[in-house]
């Protein structure tokens, strides 16, 4: 692996734990101003000290994140569809590698829509992005996107999608946790991080999800809605850090969450 590529990955995956807590806040690129992310700066500022990497668009980076205190940037570089259209899988690459270098991105990220009507285009997007990004030692994160078909999230489909991503050169893959997740991990030769998906019923559900995923071999989380739509976002990301970096159980993480909520309530913040 090239030195620059390795160095960038080490900014995302903490060298001492080889794991990462990424904060995903790129949702606006096709969903617009979704709940709790209407003003990105207000949402992100309190969470940034606890994120190893921030997955965002160039628009949010430039308008809403202080470059002096930003963690590693994982730059969303795919897009071209919105939630108003029938098929959000119709994406292309929307950002040049020159722009990624200008923004000092530690990785570039695109969605991969395996099984969709745009599968072919999506796989070529990934391959071309890997070709270009590798010229500059920039890792590529492939996101196994399922669009509106959340029921697709089973081990058979996700193992297929993650493996295809790795075969086409992704440096790491973002996917969903599912039953028999160890099979997804086992058949994917590059690190996996998990998304949280739509907000779960309780915070404990999200902690359980993270704990189970790490136990099965995920190398981190890249969660969005289950952090910043949580009742106490800062306490939530701190609890996730304990699971990912300190080997905490879901019970221990829930205790950190509870203590954080109490402290936040006393201080009048979350
Ligand atoms: C959108 C994305 C999001 O970043 C991803 O879904 C993670 O966020 P969440 O935990 O809210 O699902 O890649 O395609």
Please, which residues have CB within 8 angstroms of residue 268's CB and are 6 or more apart in sequence?
Answer: none
Which residue lies with its CA nearest to atom 8 of ligand 1?
224
CA dist 220 and 225 (Å) reads: 16
Name 144's bridge partners. 112
Q: What SS3 class is residue 61? A: helix
Q: Residue 113 burial by CB count (10 A; 0-12/13-18/19+): exposed, middle or buried?
A: buried
Domain boundaries, the chain: 3-230
Residue in 21, 224, 225, 240 to alter for ligand 1 test, most ligand atoms within 8 A of Cβ: 224
Give pLDDT, residue 270: 59
The residues annotated as belonging to the active site are: 174
Ligand 1 atom closest to 26 (CA): 4
Cα–ligand 1 centroid distance for 198 (angstroms):
8
Q: Identify the residue whose tokens are 């071209």.
A: 80
Tokens of 133: 């990004």
Tokens of 267: 């201080």
Which pLDDT tens digits describe the chain residue by residue (270 residues)?
Answer: 799 999 999 999 999 999 999 999 999 999 999 999 999 999 999 999 999 999 999 999 999 999 999 999 999 999 999 999 889 999 999 999 999 999 999 999 999 999 999 999 999 999 999 999 999 999 999 999 987 777 778 999 999 999 999 999 999 999 999 999 999 999 999 999 999 999 999 999 999 999 999 999 999 999 999 999 999 999 999 999 999 999 999 999 999 999 998 887 777 765
Please, which residues have CB within 8 angstroms of residue 208's CB and are 6 or more apart in sequence?
Answer: 250
Question: What is the CATH architecture assignment of 3-230?
Answer: Alpha-Beta Barrel (3.20)
Residue in 91, 143, 203 to alter for ligand 1 test, most ligand atoms within 8 A of Cβ: 143
> What stretches of the chain adopt beta strand conformation (E)?
20-24, 53-56, 72-76, 78-79, 92-93, 107-112, 140-144, 172-175, 192-194, 220-223
Please, which residues have CB within 8 angstroms of residue 4's CB and are 6 or more apart in sequence?
Answer: 136, 137, 138
Cα–ligand 1 centroid distance for 23 (angstroms):
9
């Amino acid at each position: 692996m090239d030195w620059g590529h390795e160095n960038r990955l080490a900014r995302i995956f903490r060298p001492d734990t080889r794991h990462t807590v990424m904060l995903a806040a790129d949702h606006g690129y096709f969903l617009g101003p979704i709940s709790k992310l209407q003003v990105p700066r207000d949402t992100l500022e309190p969470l940034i000290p606890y994120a190893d990497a921030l997955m965002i668009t160039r628009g949010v980076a430039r308008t809403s994140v202080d470059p002096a205190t930003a963690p590693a940037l994982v730059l969303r570089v795919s897009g071209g569809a919105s939630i108003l259209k029938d098929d959000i899988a119709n994406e292309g690459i929307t950002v040049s590698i020159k722009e990624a270098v200008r923004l000092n991105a530690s990785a570039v990220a695109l969605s991969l829509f395996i099984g969709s009507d745009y599968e072919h285009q999506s796989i070529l997007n990934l391959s071309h992005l890997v070709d270009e990004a590798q010229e500059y030692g920039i890792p590529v994160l492939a996101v196994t996107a399922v669009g509106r078909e959340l029921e697709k999230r089973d081990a058979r489909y996700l193992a297929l999608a993650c493996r295809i991503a790795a075969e086409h050169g992704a440096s790491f893959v973002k996917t969903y946790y599912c039953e028999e997740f160890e099979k997804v991990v086992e058949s994917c030769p590059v690190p996996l991080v998990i998304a949280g998906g739509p907000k779960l019923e309780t915070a404990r559900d999200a902690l359980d999800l993270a704990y189970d995923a790490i136990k099965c071999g995920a190398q981190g989380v890249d969660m969005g809605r289950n952090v910043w739509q949580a009742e106490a976002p800062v306490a939530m990301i701190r609890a996730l850090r304990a699971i990912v970096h300190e080997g905490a159980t879901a019970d221990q993480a829930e205790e950190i969450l509870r203590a954080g909520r109490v402290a936040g309530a006393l201080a009048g913040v979350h």
